[in-house]
Amino acid sequence: MPTSGVGAHAAVKTERPCGPRGNSPSIVLDGSDGSVPLPLLAAEGTPPVLAAVPRPPLVNDPPSPSLSSPSFLARWDAIVARSWVGRHFKLEERGTCFSREAMGGWMTFLTMSYITPLSASIVAETGATCDIHAPDNVYERCKFLVRHQLLTAVAVASFVSSLVMGLWANLPFLLAPGIGTSAYFAYSVVGVRGLGHVPYRTGVTAVVLEGVIFLLLSITGLRSRAVQSLPSSIKLAMSGGIGLFLAFIGLQAPEGIGLITASPDTLITLGGCPPSARSPVDDGAGTYVCMEKRMQSATTWVGVMALLLMTTLLEKGVRSAVGVVILLVSLLSWVRDTPFSFFPRDGPDGVGEARFQAFRKLISIQGMADVAGQWEFGRLGSPQVWLAVLTFLYTDVLDTTGCLYSMVRQAGMVQEDGRFKGDGAAFCVDALGTILAGSLGLPPVVVFMESAVGIECGARTGLAAVVGSLGFLLSVIFTPILASIPPFATGAALVLVGCILMEHLSHIQWTNRRLAMPAFLTAILMPLTYSIAYGVIAGIVTAIIMHLLLKFFDMVSASLGRFASRGVGRCRLSSSQQKEHMREKENLDRSESCWNVKHIEELEYLDCIAHPEGQSEASHHILAIGEVPPAFELDK
């Protein structure tokens, strides 16, 4: 908002960013109007008591804007903006309001609500603290109870981490245990039924240690400095790669609309088949292979229509488009005896009936006695433990870094120096959240890419994170309801946000291959490897190798140029040749061909070739430019 002095002839125009339909009437001040809105006076340093005493209205005064003229939502936004809440979260400074932040935070939570049951299910595959040698029926019963406790643990860890992110860092990002880290923890570190390299208790202890190391790196600022050293093209590619990653998740099953499914021949292929034509893949994540009837699934078509409706509403300026469509699709999916019901009566293995029975409970609270505080330090000397710590560390650092910078870039919060306000606090919150997650028996938490949904809804401050964190708190009680939001509703939102994030790729200089190839590998490998970290690593390594190779070729080219110039005779230039040579010296780009300047300054004698007249121009080109023309060959 522009600021200027307020006087007899001051003319100031200011617009509140929020109000009915997202925009309230503009407030224009000129010399004829002595009333000044409170937010403007506050920005100018005027004492509040002066702002509280408006000029008495004249008979012919136009009606001035007041809290009674806009809608109830606009009045509430104005009240919050003037309160300590608005000052703490800097709502007016960042051009936002309470209603927009609340909508953004809630939409982010709804979009990533699938993480609570999904992460709990993946970690439960380890058996946690269950006796792995117990009979199958006893073990399965224990595993069922542990899964419900892990649901509570995921909700609590996500609630606390997101709340602190909002209150301390003032950024609109939600945190939760990552899918990638959960899968690595469950399938590579601890193993299914605890048959991996590290026991469950030692595994969660490794998570705590990783969080402590992460916190030290964040406090000392080493992490921020490392991030600043990344090329801007790779940072832009992070945003585009995360967009591709989100779209890939949203298009596949079980996290999305099911348009893409697994294939034994081509890894992935076109899906959209009904449950009767699916062949499950035993990976613990609900993946399946379509045997027939592709694109005949009602849920897939509902997801496609939801995506089109979201996009249309968003294009028409409806900021709540994502939330409205998710709510609409959820309500439709809760109706039984429909082809797109989330509770089908004839679902595979009775899963539809089980979902409905869980949904009917509405309220369910579980403790965490069997998973929280299960540390074990006796096996920390094992190389496998420290391998897990290092893997968690670099994955956490790169995942969070990639997400944070892509999200703040989408929100337009990147400063001129490439940093953003609250970056140090955000890194520390991530580390503290990881320590808490390990203490509750979970893998590390990460900043979730779904935060881009809230940003697209207008969220710009930590107030959105606070609202979203309350959703996780409610999920501790209302887990059955939130677990019943269908993936074909949230998957459409992921695809939409992925499309929006692709805009950042347009700022990369694709004609510069030195910048284009690292950026391309960064973006494309994120969805293909299902890891943000692998994409960033590929981009950084490629950029370093290409830089070294280009330096090497420059050195070789320079050496060949010197060798070619020294292998010829010497002759004296005429005065006209010296003048022409001086003009070329003035036009030479010294930053590009610094080594050639040394040769040009030797004006009295130049290396030249004993050749017939007519080749002098070519030999002259050797010295001025430092390279032999393609069509010119030196005569022996």
Cβ-in-10-Å burial (0-12, 13-18, 19+) of 385 comes to buried
* Residue ranges of domains in the chain: 12-82, 98-221+245-258+297-407+421-500
* Pair 154, 482: CB distance under 8 Å: no
| Confidence grade of residue 212 (pLDDT, cut at 50, 70, 90) | very high
Distance CA 489, CA 404 (A): 25
- Residue 262 bridge partners (DSSP): 268, 289
Token pair 């390990």: residue: 438
Full DSSP string of 234-283:
HHHHHHHHHHHHHHHHHHBTTTS-SSEEEETTTEEEE----GGGEEE-SS
Per-residue pLDDT averaged across 229-244, rounded?
A: 83
d(CA 541, CA 545): 6
Report pLDDT for 34.
39
Residues 6 or more apart in contact with residue 594 via CB below 8 angstroms: none
**pLDDT at residue 338 greater than cutoff 80:** yes
Q: Mean pLDDT over residues 501-509, rounded?
A: 87
For range 131-159, the mean pLDDT: 81
Taking residues 396-411, report their average pLDDT: 81
The answer on pLDDT for 348 being more than 70 is no
CA 208, CA 213: separation in Å to the nearest integer?
9
Taking residues 624-630, report their average pLDDT. 42
289 membership: H or E segment, kind and range = strand 288-290
Tell me the residue type at 342: F
Q: Judge whether 466 and 246 are in contact, CB under 8 Å.
A: no
In contact, 261 and 238? CB cutoff 8 Å: no
Q: Is the peptide bond before 254 cis (omega within 30 degrees of 0)?
A: yes
Comparison of pLDDT for 55 and 71, the residue scoring more: 71
Residue 40: predicted pLDDT: 34
Structure tokens that stand for 297 in this block: 């699934």
Which has more confidence, 606 or 334?
A: 334
Q: Which residue has the tokens 């893997």?
A: 391
Separation CA 468–CA 112 (nearest Å): 10
Per DSSP, 336 falls in state S
DSSP at 9: T
Which residues, 6+ apart, have CB-to-CB distance to 100 below 8 Å?
Answer: 17, 18, 22, 319, 457, 458, 459
Higher-pLDDT residue of 509, 349: 509
Rg of the chain over Cα atoms, rounded to whole angstroms, equals: 31
Tell which residue, 242, 152, 27, has the closest CA to residue 479: 152
| Residue in the block written with tokens 């994409």 | 535
SS (H, E, C) 174-220: CEEECHHHHHHHHHHHHCHHHCCCCCHHHHHHHHHHHHHHHHHHHHH
Q: Which of 365, 375, 477 is nearest to 436 (CA)?
A: 375
pLDDT at residue 417 tops 70: yes
pLDDT digits (tens, 9 = 90+) for 243-300: 888 788 889 876 678 898 888 888 888 988 887 787 777 655 567 888 888 888 888 9
Tell me what pLDDT residue 31 has. Answer: 40
Write down the mean pLDDT value for the chain: 75
CA distance 238 to 242: 6
Stretch among 393-407, 423-437, 444-458 having the lowest mean pLDDT: 393-407
CA distances from 559 to 420, 567, 595, 626, 627 (A): 44, 12, 10, 10, 10
Average pLDDT estimate for 141-145:
78
The encoded tokens of residue 174 equal 């939600």
**Number of residues that make up the chain:** 636
CB 57 within 8 A of CB 64: yes
Q: Assess contact for 265 and 242: CB atoms under 8 A.
A: no
Integer Cα distance of 441 and 155 in angstroms: 12
Mean pLDDT of 597-620: 42
Identify the CA nearest to 453 among candidates 482, 421, 411: 411
Backbone angles phi, psi at 130, to 5 degrees: -70, 155
Spatial distance between the Cα atoms of 378 and 201, rounded to a whole number of angstroms: 10
Which DSSP string corresponds to 104-156? HHHHHHHHTTTHHHHHHHHHHTT-TTS-TTS-HHHHHHHHHHHHHHHHHHHHH
User: Would you state the pLDDT for residue 496?
Assistant: 86
Please tell me the predicted confidence (pLDDT) of residue 349: 58
User: So what's the pLDDT on residue 102?
Assistant: 92
Q: How far apart are the first and last CA of the chain?
A: 72
SS (H, E, C) 26-91: CEEECCCCCCCCHHHHHHHCCCHHHHCCCCCCCCCCCCCCCCCCCCHHHHHHHHHHHCHHHHHHCC
Residue 478 has pLDDT above 70, yes or no: yes
Cis omega before residue 444 (within 30°)? no
Residue 233: CA atoms inside 13 Å, Cβ hemisphere, count? 19
Provide the pLDDT for residue 379.
75
Percent of the chain past pLDDT 70, that is, above it, reads 74
Question: How crowded is residue 181: how many other Cβ atoms within 10 Å of its Cβ?
Answer: 28
Cross-strand bridge partners of residue 386: none
Phi, psi of 422 (to 5 degrees): 90, 10
Q: Is the pLDDT of residue 190 over 60?
A: yes
Please give the model's pTM, rounded to 2 decimal places.
0.61
Residue 634 has pLDDT above 70, yes or no: no
Which amino acid belongs to residue 557? S
How many CB atoms neighbour CB 38 within 10 A? 16
**SS3 for 176?**
strand
Q: What pLDDT shows up at residue 210? A: 92
Which run of H or of E encompasses 570?
strand 569-572
Give the mean pLDDT of 155-184.
Answer: 90
Provide the pLDDT for residue 9.
37
Summarised one tens digit per residue, pLDDT across range 515-561 is: 999 999 999 998 888 777 788 889 989 999 999 999 998 888 888 87
Q: Is 1 helix (H, G, I), strand (E, B) or coil?
A: coil
Helix (H/G/I), strand (E/B), else coil: 396: helix
Residues 49-54: contacts with CB within 8 Å, 24+ apart?
A: none
What was the pLDDT predicted at 286? Answer: 62
